Structure 1
Amino acid sequence: MDASQFYSVVVPLYNEAENAPLLIQAVHDALKNYPYELILIDDFSTDETVKVVKDLAAPNVVLIELKKNYGQSSALMAGIDYASGDYIITMDGDMQNDPSDIPMMIEKLNSGSYDLVVGQRQKRQDNLLRTFPSKVANFIIRTTTKLNVKDHGCALKVFTKDTAKELDLYGESHRFITLHAHMNGARIAEVPVKHHSRKFGVSKYGIGRTTKVINDLLLLLFNQKYLQKPIYLFGNIGILIFGLGMLINFYLLILKILGNSIGGRPLLILGILLVFVGIQFFTTGIIIDLLMKTYYESQKKRPFNIRKISSF
């Protein structure tokens, strides 16, 4: 790890009064020979978390207090926005991640010119309510994208500054930071890291958030495949449904020509309905395509990210 570089460790906290002192000490032990800042973001804790951190008044520690409980994604975004390090490290505040893995991860990032190194938790110390949704999400991501990362839920990650600053985190999307970075063109490596059981407090994540996670995942997958070309999704669905409706109506037309009564057939209603639904899907694709263009142009965004510009 290069001592000439500056490191920012970003950690969201919510009701972690017992773990905060252990976290601060563990980060100091791991990075004591390097210039660093530890950015703790209190997500409107209802226990003594803020008081404990302030009473410690530890060097190199920055405490950001949010006005209300916004959730982990917003807390991470606040910390990343504030961070000034050449490398930005994220981890959970429950002491299940081990800061001693950070130097190894930074070495890995530099050794392969990676933009992001993510941890893969070994012998994960969590119950089924946490591991099952994580396994489902990891499986879906691996099978629907080209990103071969086995543990998207591990909070311990090391970013280059530019990679972290490009992230836009909303909802529960902090669980898919690796996929966000992949969509932005980041080069990613995964390394095994230690994982500990929680000593104090209780998990703030359970099966109740599974539907939120699935919704965010589906939105991310849509953005990855169709954000810049929504007409390909909605237009293709519309053409398929419209074509099926027209086939049904053509079949009924032939029956009518042959002298059969079709007025009382449910198939007639289905055929007409499919034609109108197909048209609606196609026109929806056109509208979303226009909204996509407005999204990029109104904010002067570009549908691409430039890694580097060199002049010779």
Structure 2
Amino acid sequence: MDISVVIPLYNEAESLPELTAWIKRVMDDNRFSYEIILIDDGSTDGSWMIIEGLKAKNPKITAVKFRRNYGKSAALNVGFTVAQGDVVITMDADLQDSPDEIPELYRRITQEDFDLVSGWKQKRHDPPSKTVPTKLFNSVTRSMSGIHNLHDFNCGLKAYKKDVVKSIEVYGEMHRYIPVIAKWAGFSRIGEQVVLHYPRKYGKTKFGPGRFVKGFLDLLSIFFVGKFGKRPMHFFGTMGVLSFLAGFIIAAWLIVEKLISISNHTSYRNATDQPLFFFALIAIIIGTQLFLTGFIAELISRNGSERNSYQIEKVI
């Protein structure tokens, strides 16, 4: 099978008939073998009834319905598990992503050998309350991830090699960082394609301003797990040793200063009378705790079932 189109959705009953008909038209015009995978994330507007009707008309539709709303990441993860196509395309169900972009995305994956191609909504039809924070979010993500060629990490329209979606796990709110997750998994051939962005035709957006706070926390989580997931002692141990040494040096300096004053018969203050001593004591305690945290995390990591799980690209 050439293409699997994975579409997570939540309360998008009005747009589904038009979207699936549009996808079918594009696939038939380009003679692709394909499947459309609809993941109903606990919709309450009758989306599932619409999907059942669409499935009866088009056998290439596969649908999964969640009992409740789990979020876009969960829907994508299930869709990736079900997908069988050589190239997996993801898009939103609100008709703001154009299926007409699919042939070029497919070409770039199959002919230019990209692992992942992410869409870039260069001209967005969204209010400034969404576009301005998104630009800041993308700038921070580029800096922290090292993927400097992407302008829009959170664009729902993306194309993947099958190996990519079968090798990564998307959970929580991590759908925003799939390119970062893919990079940490060893898929470094990541490209970008300018795509059309249409105004929302039906319904309203499902994401509020709180997504930016959650998104930043998830970015920190991905960065830490990707860099130190298999060697947590390198992070906690280093921070702990530095904190302990800083506290120890300050405490030693205060004690030595007191001893010198005593030997010179000059006035002095007890170390415990100086605020700096308590800062040193706190630094020593925190350093010890960080070191022990790293040690415990290392023990847990070494006993984990995936401690020697690595992404192998080819074997000759």
Q: Say whether the fold is shared (TM-score over 0.5).
A: yes
Map residues 17-56 of structure 1 onto 2, 5 A cutoff.
17-32=13-28, 33-56=31-54
CA contact (8 A) 2:3 2:34 kept: yes
CA contact (8 A) 2:87 2:109 kept: no
In 2, the alpha carbon distance for the partners of 1:9 and 1:277 equals: 50
In 1, the alpha carbon distance for the partners of 2:213 and 2:146 equals: 24
Note the alpha carbon deviations across 1:75-132, whole angstroms, 9 max, x for none: 1111111111111111111111101001001111122211111111120112233323
In 1, the alpha carbon distance for the partners of 2:172 and 2:133 equals: 16
Partner of 1:94: 94
- The answer to whether residue 296 in structure 2 is matched with residue 287 in structure 1 is yes
Compare CA radii of gyration and give the structure with the larger one: 2
CA contact (8 A) 1:109 1:189 kept: no
Q: TM-score, normalised by structure 2?
A: 0.91
In 2, the alpha carbon distance for the partners of 1:236 and 1:76 equals: 36
Of 261, 264, 269, which residue of structure 1 is paired with 2:269?
261
CA contact (8 A) 2:122 2:194 kept: yes
Shift of 1:255: 2.8
For structure 2, list consecutive stretches of 5 or more residues without a partner in the other structure.
Answer: 263-267
The alignment of Structure 1 onto Structure 2 pairs a total of residues equal to 303
Map residues 55-66 of structure 1 onto 2, 5 A cutoff.
55-56=53-54, 57-59=56-58, 60-66=60-66
For structure 1, list consecutive stretches of 5 or more residues without a partner in the other structure.
Answer: none
Partner of 1:165: 166
Partner of 2:129: 129
Note the aligned Cα RMSD (angstroms): 1.5
Shift of 1:303: 4.6
Of 228, 250, 253, which residue of structure 2 is paired with 1:251?
253
Of 276, 279, 283, which residue of structure 1 is paired with 2:285?
276
CA contact (8 A) 2:137 2:212 kept: no
- The answer to whether residue 157 in structure 2 is matched with residue 156 in structure 1 is yes
CA contact (8 A) 1:130 1:205 kept: no
Note the alpha carbon deviations across 1:141-198, whole angstroms, 9 max, x for none: 2112321221101111111111111120111001111111111111211111111110
SS of the residue 2:57 aligns to: coil
Note the alpha carbon deviations across 1:193-229, whole angstroms, 9 max, x for none: 1111101110011212222111111000112221122
Partner of 1:220: 222
Shift of 1:6: 2.6
In 1, the alpha carbon distance for the partners of 2:153 and 2:16 equals: 24
SS of the residue 2:212 aligns to: helix
Shift of 1:133: 3.6
Ranges of 4+ aligned residues in structure 1 off by more than 3 Å: none
In 1, the alpha carbon distance for the partners of 2:309 and 2:229 equals: 9
CA contact (8 A) 2:26 2:100 kept: yes
Amino acid in the other structure paired with 1:107: R
In 2, the alpha carbon distance for the partners of 1:246 and 1:307 equals: 47
Note the alpha carbon deviations across 1:239-272, whole angstroms, 9 max, x for none: 2211211121112102321132223222222211
% identity of equivalent residues: 37
